[in-house]
């Protein structure tokens, strides 16, 4: 089993839709969790950290479920500019394979 | 530009040759990471340094790979006797380690290696 696994995608959604991604991790002792965004042919950039109590940043909400060992990312009111690959990161170094999102007009 | 820089941006080499990549992190960052990324995959952790000490090296990393950060600033990643399977994007990232445990990494633009 991989250390970090993500929804395979791709997700193709219309503008304005709400979309959610999950990411499971195998190490129950994991302490830090992040979501990164990677545009085509670009380097990954931090989208948001994931706090134990869950956190929100505008249209983006991240949640952590330690009991089931997964984190989630919810994007509300999708914009065309949200089209990218979303990577979850566990313990700062273990990346998932990424989930590709395409938002269409 | 005060971000992470990598050099070269592209490298084409023949199988069996040695290559070396350089990464210059953000100046005050004490941690430096190397990753490898292939198409359709997330970055795969290779190794990381805290200051000049190499604290972790992936078990997936063969003996042909070596990394250094001699003065705790820039780092080099060398691949000896390159193989076609080494073709990938090599990403460097840096961060400022604190006591909170939540540390953002800033990535460089990567070095794309093609082994013919």
What would the pLDDT profile of B46-79 be if each residue is shown by its tens digit? 999 999 999 999 987 889 999 999 988 999 999 9
Q: SS3 for B22?
A: strand
Calculate Rg over the CA atoms of chain B. 14
Q: What is the DSSP letter of B52?
A: T
Select the more confidently predicted residue: B51 or A7. B51
Q: Return the exposure string of B84-111: e unless at least 16 CB atoms fall within 10 Å of the residue's CB, then b.
A: eebbbbbbbbbbeeeeeeeebbbbbbbb
Residue A76 has pLDDT above 80, yes or no: yes
* CB contact A41 to B (< 8 Å): no
* CB contact A76 to B (< 8 Å): no
Average of per-residue pLDDT across B30-51:
95
Bridge partners for B93 per DSSP: B33, B107
Residues in A touching B110 (Cβ below 8 Å): 43
Q: Is B68 exposed, middle or buried (0-12, 13-18, 19+ CB in 10 A)?
A: middle
- The predicted pLDDT at position B24 comes to 97
Under 8 Å between Cβ of A84 and A95: no
pLDDT band at B42; cut points 50, 70, 90: very high
Beta-carbon separation of B48 and A93 below 8 A:
yes
Residue B100 has pLDDT above 70, yes or no: no
- The predicted pLDDT at position A102 comes to 97
Beta-carbon separation of A32 and B102 below 8 A:
yes
What are the pLDDT digits (tens) for A25-71? 999 999 899 999 999 999 999 999 998 899 999 999 999 999 999 99
What is the rounded distance in angstroms from the CA atom of residue A87 to the CA atom of residue A47? 9
């Amino acid at each position: 089993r991989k250390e970090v696994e993500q929804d395979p995608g791709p997700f193709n959604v219309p503008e304005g839709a709400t979309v959610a991604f999950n990411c499971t991790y195998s190490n129950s002792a994991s302490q830090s969790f992040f979501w990164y965004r990677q545009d085509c042919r670009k380097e990954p950039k931090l989208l948001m950290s994931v706090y134990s109590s869950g956190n929100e940043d505008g249209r983006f909400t991240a949640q952590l479920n330690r009991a089931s060992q997964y984190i989630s990312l919810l994007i509300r009111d999708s914009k065309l500019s949200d089209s990218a690959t979303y990577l979850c990161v566990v313990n700062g170094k273990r990346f998932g394979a990424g989930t590709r999102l395409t938002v269409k007009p | 530009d005060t971000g992470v820089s990598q050099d070269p941006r592209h490298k084409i080499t023949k199988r069996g040759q040695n290559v070396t990549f350089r990464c210059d992190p953000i100046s005050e960052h004490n941690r430096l990471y190397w990753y490898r990324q292939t198409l359709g995959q997330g970055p795969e952790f290779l190794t990381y340094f805290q200051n000049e000490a190499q604290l972790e090296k992936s078990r997936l990393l063969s003996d042909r790979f070596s990394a250094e950060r001699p003065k705790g600033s820039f780092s080099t990643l060398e691949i000896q006797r390159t193989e076609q399977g080494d073709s990938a994007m090599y990403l460097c990232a840096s961060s400022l380690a604190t006591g909170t445990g939540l540390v953002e990494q800033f990535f460089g633009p990567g070095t794309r290696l093609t082994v013919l």
